[in-house]
Structure 1
């Protein structure tokens, strides 16, 4: 068995996804941490395109050199409503996992104070002065541990905060005809059968004959794989003229949608990051962009010597998210009506601004007044009383 020259580290980062790699890069490039030893652990070698991240932002951003495709327009529609619209001043951006890994992993591995080890973490044990991290072959100790390991059973052990899933299966396809509008993202197409849930199609067109087509649900239970795939087949046939196509890649994901306070599991030695830390937007499941904003805040928190258990900020936007999730938990079929009403009555750019937690109170009043008010009033009274 090979033994690493060091078994104790100042910092251990578990998981090299978006949160882990961005944190490792931020610490590795900051002279404040140059005399600190940092270990990064992940069970994968990060050589596969295992995910797609999308986000919107104004103007140029830090990931622009890695972005695979951008769009200036989106489409939202349903059985009785169709709308194509600009999202200016925002741009919708898509980043492939493999491009992110290929950029950040070599940089992280090159820092002299960072050690990268490809092993699966089995368990973490917090002790009086250190944290023990056991992998398949070794045991390490650290003063501080950042863990992106998500245990989906944790929020299910309580009833105060509903737990839905944003779950999806996507096909990246190449068609034999030019059928896609590559200047517009199909952001939410609710024309598919809802079957008592909130279900929609999401299409990212890379070209006129290439796109990622995803079947997405906001609901409590996942589907059987064939249910997602049958829905995709039906949608392609109905909306793209029966064109022939080949499937180049597949992806599946499930992101928790909940206002459960994940931060309460943080201690002064172990802090959870990414989805495990509650960094996903509860009402949409978007995680990447929020993670890119949380990492610099966490680094500053560390540099100021603040207690890790205090790394949390309350926000009124969490309350808005909670009301929506309360509604979808009780009446999951209302999702399409709520989102269609918002996009029908308000500018898409304002909705995206709201979903990024950047609006003021007047703008928020305009957003929450767009859908039918009764479900929100009921949800509000249930929360109060």
Structure 2
């Protein structure tokens, strides 16, 4: 079978693959390197929505679909106004990100897009063999976004919570929504004894994305999301007349699984497969941007590629949080009530961005002090 050689191959042109491809393309250090992005699909549909917070303007401003500076946390006991300043909460549609990234990369003379389904990635005699259904490719180094099968086979060796959800984009004839503020979590409607809530992103006065989300050790049938979305729209929002113009469904692993153990000398896992998703929140967009930038610097400085990628401190704190949700899933509402009631939103964002000092960590952890956290700590 004919071999096609590249300096770097990125397997998967989703969020991590495209962010890494963009980072490589913008650095003159790699201007003469041949780079291939291989994916089984052309990424030509709007298959997900990403949200994140950041200070000021970032590198994605031209594709921000909507942004907010204020939000709410709501439960049957609390209605907390979230002042985000100096952060802004931003929303990007995947199709806008895909098209923007592909347009930028298409103009780079050393970057190739290949549509193929990869079946194996293996190190062999100082190079890496990337086996696709159409062709076989070789590379000096491969960045692989496929999740290692060991994650699914050895789940008992880690603590895992599923963040799973379904969302409706709904439109109304009359002006109903306030597009200047969003709802981070609304716990007034929950599924049984679980951590489940509704997330509302108003786009215009007549349009909003409404999502029912679970942080649970289990998953549910799709009709469960539909039932709770319908109940929320009719019982909480008091909307009787509306139309659903788009839907989104997904699942994100929130886990302390050691993805990094499946990195090798010439094969580096990226994205979810590399542990780039924040375990305690499921947020990935800005974490991916940071990891891609750090990966580039490590390459340029001839360091092991994942140097400084994983913080033992935050891994420890994330593990405690996951254990509490796993052992006492119904406690989620109380946890997030305390978190938003006793801490400023900027301090929470800073903590989830893994940028806090030990003193700032202590203040966050202290606000969540309970028997469940003590038990998880000793476990």
Q: TM-score, normalised by structure 1?
A: 0.94
* Structure 1 outlier segments of 4+, above 6 Å: none
1:225 is the counterpart of 2:222: yes
1:377 is the counterpart of 2:349: no
Q: How far apart are the structure 2 equivalents of 1:353 and 1:317?
A: 12
Q: How far apart are the structure 2 equivalents of 1:165 and 1:355?
A: 18
> What whole-Å deviation, never above 9, does each CA across 1:219-248 have from its counterpart, x for those lacking one?
122211111111100000012223311111
Which stretch shows the higher mean deviation, 119-128 or 149-158?
Answer: 149-158
Residue equivalent to 2:192: 195
Residue equivalent to 2:15: 18
1:73 is the counterpart of 2:70: yes
Once the two structures are superposed, the pairs formed by residues 273-288 of structure 1 within 5 Å of their partners are 273-288=270-285
Which stretch shows the higher mean deviation, 160-169 or 223-232?
Answer: 160-169
| Offset of residue 23 of structure 1 | 1.0
1:83 is the counterpart of 2:80: yes
Check whether the contact 1:41–1:116 (CA below 8 A) recurs between aligned residues: yes
Q: How far apart are the structure 2 equivalents of 1:12 and 1:317?
A: 30
| Offset of residue 160 of structure 1 | 4.1
Q: 1:327 aligns with which of 324, 336, 351?
A: 324
| SS of equivalent residue, structure 2 residue 61 | coil
| Offset of residue 162 of structure 1 | 0.6
Q: 1:343 aligns with which of 340, 344, 349?
A: 340
Check whether the contact 2:148–2:262 (CA below 8 A) recurs between aligned residues: no
| Offset of residue 172 of structure 1 | 0.8
Q: How far apart are the structure 2 equivalents of 1:290 and 1:135?
A: 29
- The number of equivalent residue pairs is 379
Residue equivalent to 1:137: 134
Which stretch shows the higher mean deviation, 348-357 or 256-265?
Answer: 348-357
> What whole-Å deviation, never above 9, does each CA across 1:41-64 have from its counterpart, x for those lacking one?
011112211111100011111111
Check whether the contact 1:267–1:309 (CA below 8 A) recurs between aligned residues: no
| Offset of residue 309 of structure 1 | 6.0
> What whole-Å deviation, never above 9, does each CA across 1:319-366 have from its counterpart, x for those lacking one?
111100011111111111100111112222221221111222222222
1:254 is the counterpart of 2:254: no
Q: How far apart are the structure 1 equivalents of 2:349 and 2:22?
A: 28
Structure 1, unaligned stretches of length 5 or more? none
Q: How far apart are the structure 2 equivalents of 1:245 and 1:319?
A: 45
- Structure 1 residues 190 and 151: alpha-carbon distance in aligned structure 2, compared to 1, 3 A threshold: farther
Q: How far apart are the structure 1 equivalents of 2:324 and 2:150?
A: 22
Check whether the contact 1:54–1:288 (CA below 8 A) recurs between aligned residues: yes
- Structure 1 residues 122 and 89: alpha-carbon distance in aligned structure 2, compared to 1, 3 A threshold: same
Q: TM-score, normalised by structure 2?
A: 0.96
1:352 is the counterpart of 2:349: yes
| Offset of residue 310 of structure 1 | 4.7
Q: How far apart are the structure 1 equivalents of 2:306 and 2:355?
A: 25
- Structure 1 residues 25 and 111: alpha-carbon distance in aligned structure 2, compared to 1, 3 A threshold: same
| Offset of residue 155 of structure 1 | 5.4
1:206 is the counterpart of 2:193: no
